[in-house]
Amino acid sequence: MTSKLRVLLVEDNQAIANQIIAFLEGHCWDVDYAATGKLGVRLALEHTFDVIILDLNLPDIDGLRVCEEIKSQASVNIPILMLTARDAFEDKVKGFGKGADDYLTKPFDLRELVLRCEAMSRRSELHQNTVVSHGLLSLDIRSFEVLWSSENVKVTKVGFKLLHKLLSEMPYPVSRSELIEHVWGDEPPESNALKSHIYALRKATEQVTGKPILHTISNIGYQLKDIDD
């Protein structure tokens, strides 16, 4: 009996994708699908998945780059299984170097794919601390819930990512460019987007904390302060 997983499949070969999706859905897994690397990165950063199945050869950006972007920008470590027709040792070294957790060479048995996904998910659960906290502030990176003491702070997905980055870098400030890269990767938004999201995040936190905890550091960026009491 297999456990139910939520999977993101990034594969440009429609025939192969259809086979994988049908097989995984036959195990009652939830499967999201992307035919391009850019869409795969966006889905991985906007939603929560137990495993990502990633083809190495994609039509727009290489699977190695997709893997690297997801691993560097996601607020939670998502296990990535790379699929490839390449069987060279050097290719596997490159894949693992970019953060891939496992490797499967085409053609493969779909039953083995299921077993590898389950194994990666179990390992991830054992090592994944889903709650990040400091002082009175706690972030649940699976549910995107933010708590100040025991009171809920209502933030957007972008606000959560900004807050997670700021909390992980405490007590140091985080530059605007770092925050933009963490949230949007290589597709930065319009110039005032970060400022608008910071304003909304500051307003949401102050409504619950009763004091400013998100501070602007002149000529640098932003910093969390005064969250210990």
Residue 90's domain is classified under what CATH number?
Answer: 3.40.50.2300
| Residue 179 domain boundaries | 131-224
Please check whether residues 119 and 195 belong to one and the same domain: no
The DSSP string of 143-171 is: TTEEEETTEEE---HHHHHHHHHHHHTTT
Please check whether residues 136 and 123 belong to one and the same domain: no
Please check whether residues 56 and 40 belong to one and the same domain: yes
* First-to-last C-alpha distance (Å) of the chain: 47
Q: Name the domain boundary from 104, 127, 150.
A: 127
Q: Would you say residue 86 has pLDDT above 60?
A: yes
Tokens at 21, concatenated: 């999706």
Three-state SS at 91: helix
Please check whether residues 59 and 160 belong to one and the same domain: no
135-146 pLDDT, tens digit per residue, is: 899 898 778 899
229 part of a folded domain? no
Three-state SS at 54: strand
pLDDT > 70 in the chain, percent: 94
Counted domains in the chain: 2
Q: Looking at 70-84, 127-141, 206-220, which range is the least confident one?
A: 127-141
* pLDDT computed for residue 3 by the predictor: 64
Pairwise CA distance, residues 22 & 150, whole Å: 43
* pLDDT computed for residue 172 by the predictor: 86
14 part of a folded domain? yes
164 part of a folded domain? yes
Please check whether residues 22 and 110 belong to one and the same domain: yes
* pLDDT computed for residue 87 by the predictor: 67
Q: Name the domain boundary from 127, 147, 175.
A: 127
Q: Would you say residue 95 has pLDDT above 90?
A: no
Please check whether residues 66 and 157 belong to one and the same domain: no
Please check whether residues 153 and 52 belong to one and the same domain: no
Please check whether residues 123 and 135 belong to one and the same domain: no
Pairing of strands 151-153, 221-224: unpaired
Pairwise CA distance, residues 13 & 35, whole Å: 8
Please check whether residues 95 and 28 belong to one and the same domain: yes
Please check whether residues 24 and 137 belong to one and the same domain: no
123 part of a folded domain? yes
Pairwise CA distance, residues 105 & 119, whole Å: 17
151-209 pLDDT, tens digit per residue, is: 999 999 899 989 988 988 888 899 998 898 888 877 777 778 899 999 999 999 999 99
